[in-house]
Chains A and B, each alone.
Chain A
Amino acid sequence: MADRIEVLKTYKTYVGGKFPRSESDRTYQIKDGKGKHIANACRCSRKDVRDAVVTARSAFGGWSSRSAYNRGQVLYRIAEMLEGRKDQFLRELQLAGIKEKDAKHEVHTAIDRVIYFAGWTDKISQVFGTVNPVASAHFNFSSPDATGVVGIIAPEEYPLLSAISMIAPVIAGGNSCILLASETNPLPVVSFGEVLHASDVPAGVVNILTGYRSETAETISSHKDVNALFSSISDNKFRKLIDENASINVKRTEHYTPDDWYSDDHENPYLVLKFMETKTTWHPVGF
């Protein structure tokens, strides 16, 4: 069977609970560490971004109004499903040339991270909500509220771990998101879409696009229906583009470029809080 031509998988995107190809019909080659062609991925266009934003927007209302407790259950379910399909992710990471030991470490940390944020969903508003002293006859309290649609721009390194570390806090807070996956190795991230699909995450809460940032970042950062950006690209020119475009409608922007994605520092509730707005209510007090 030496002459057999291997069938290379073309990974699709994950938008609105479905797995569409790019509307542009374009794909690009994914290579392993040694430059060998291992699979194809969709090369998304600005129209794919536009469609994903529409989907994320329509999913936002339902997701943010679920009870925090229920969101926690759904996140926990993601971790369960990841655990069950661990082998697939190990294989995919190794296919890209990552050593087995490192791949295991990456997958395990990713699963634990989802569990961590699952626990925070129904505690955020207790811990960070406040009752404020005011000088009038009002009961005044503040609580964190979901921001809306968040554009996540994932880095090249540790494709699975970094993507999950960015998605988990965003959806834990009740936002919906569009993730621009790693350019060089988006495969495990797209497979993560299959996990999301099989768990109870409502369609459109997480949308995963692949392709070149040079074609998609401009659109997602300037789109006025995107409320926040979460970017892990350290390149200065890229940061400038993001910041300038974010200013069009004053998006909440977070540049997050850690040295070590394995560090426990990522497991912190302030990351959830970055994508929440403070809502303050004045309630008249009767006598």
Chain B
Amino acid sequence: MSVLTIPDFNQTTPIDQIGVEERVSRLNKRSIKKESKLQALKLALSMIDHTTLEGKDSEGKVIQLCSKARLPYAPMPNLPHVAAVCVYPNMVATAKKALQGTGVKVASVATAFPSGMAQLHIKLDDTRYAVSEGADEIDMVISRGEFLKGNYTFIFDEIAAIKEACGEAHLKVILETGELETLENVRKASDIAMHAGADFIKTSTGKISPAATQPVTLVMLEAIRDFYRDTGSMVGMKPAGGIRKAKEALQYLVLVKETLGSAWLTPEWFRFGASSLTNDLLMQIVKQETGVYQSINYFSND
């Protein structure tokens, strides 16, 4: 027997969908107020992968995004900076330069994001390019078509190859759960990704709907928990897309805390992929500090 046995991915781990939804809705009723709420809001802010993934992105926009990432709200300079800025590979160098010496990481999507419909060598080149430009983290997409065909070895080998191309950079594997149809598939894709070497598993590209949902996140968190029990290695989690409100962010934090424990409640192991969440968190933080409900007009767009 080898030290790490790869499970047979043709076996399906059954998921009780009703049970998952019930647990999510029970955890959503958790009330977090006052001082703990403020702490949670600041923690959530520090876990954001501040993202811009649009065809119309320019250097100017990325630089602006980076300055917000570094100092989310100028009137409160003591707030934490966000965890990372997430951009397309050709914007990595711009972001890297803008964030020099700030502690904010640069993440780049790669591997023919968002569809992943390209040959492996193109995906590898895409990845190596992003890493050579200075990306600290790579967000790759899996080939959902091959996955749904049942070609699990293909998925496994592809992730392993990209991981190798990443070198020192952390690899986040996007499952695009909105296209995986069932929670069993989400669980299976999570298991494959983790065994193939993912440092993080991530729900969605944000390009299709539904993006991140709490039931899907719970299933992935449970996969991470089981993987940790089996192998002793921690894997990070990143729900992305569709998380816009501070309240939802806090609900996600409760899911993490209750499934994986406090060890995962750091930007090192948990991230939010979002663009508009930052402002809502800031508005809630300022509300907590001043007692006055805020208006989006007083917060910068990017």
Contacts and interface: CB of A to CB of B under 8 A. Distances in A.
B232 to A, nearest CB: 45
A225 B295 contact: yes
18 contacts: A50-B293, A53-B293, A219-B293, A222-B291, A222-B292, A222-B293, A223-B292, A223-B293, A223-B295, A224-B292, A224-B294, A224-B295, A224-B297, A224-B298, A225-B293, A225-B296, A225-B297, A249-B295
Please indicate which of the listed interface residues A219, A224, A225 has the most CB atoms of chain B within 10 Å of its own CB. A224
B162 to A, nearest CB: 41
Rank and list the top 9 A-B pairs by shortest CB-CB distance, nearest first: A225-B295, A224-B295, A223-B293, A222-B292, A224-B294, A50-B293, A248-B292, A224-B292, A224-B293
A145 to B, nearest CB: 16
Interface in A234-253: 248-249
Contacts of A50: 293
Contacts of B292: 222-224, 248
The B contact surface, by secondary structure, is: loop
The A contact surface, by secondary structure, is: loop
Contacts of A219: 293
Interface string B278-302: 0000000000000111111110000
Interface of A: 50, 53, 219, 222-225, 248-249
Contacts of B297: 224-225
Nearest to A219: B293
Interface size class of B (residues with CB under 8 A): under 10
A270 B291 CA distance: 34
Nearest to A47: B293
A50 B245 CA distance: 14
Contacts of B296: 225
Contacts of A248: 292
Nearest to B298: A224
Contacts of A225: 293-297
Nearest to B296: A225
Nearest to A54: B293
A18 to B, nearest CB: 19
Contacts of B295: 223-225, 249
Given A53-B293, A223-B295, A224-B298, 19 more contacts: A50-B293, A219-B293, A222-B291, A222-B292, A222-B293, A223-B292, A223-B293, A224-B292, A224-B293, A224-B294, A224-B295, A224-B297, A225-B293, A225-B294, A225-B295, A225-B296, A225-B297, A248-B292, A249-B295
B74 to A, nearest CB: 17
Contacts of A224: 292-295, 297-298
A24 to B, nearest CB: 14
A48 to B, nearest CB: 12
Contacts of A222: 291-293
Contacts of A249: 295
B263 to A, nearest CB: 34
A254 B296 CA distance: 24
A222 B293 CA distance: 7
Contacts of A53: 293
A225 B280 CA distance: 13
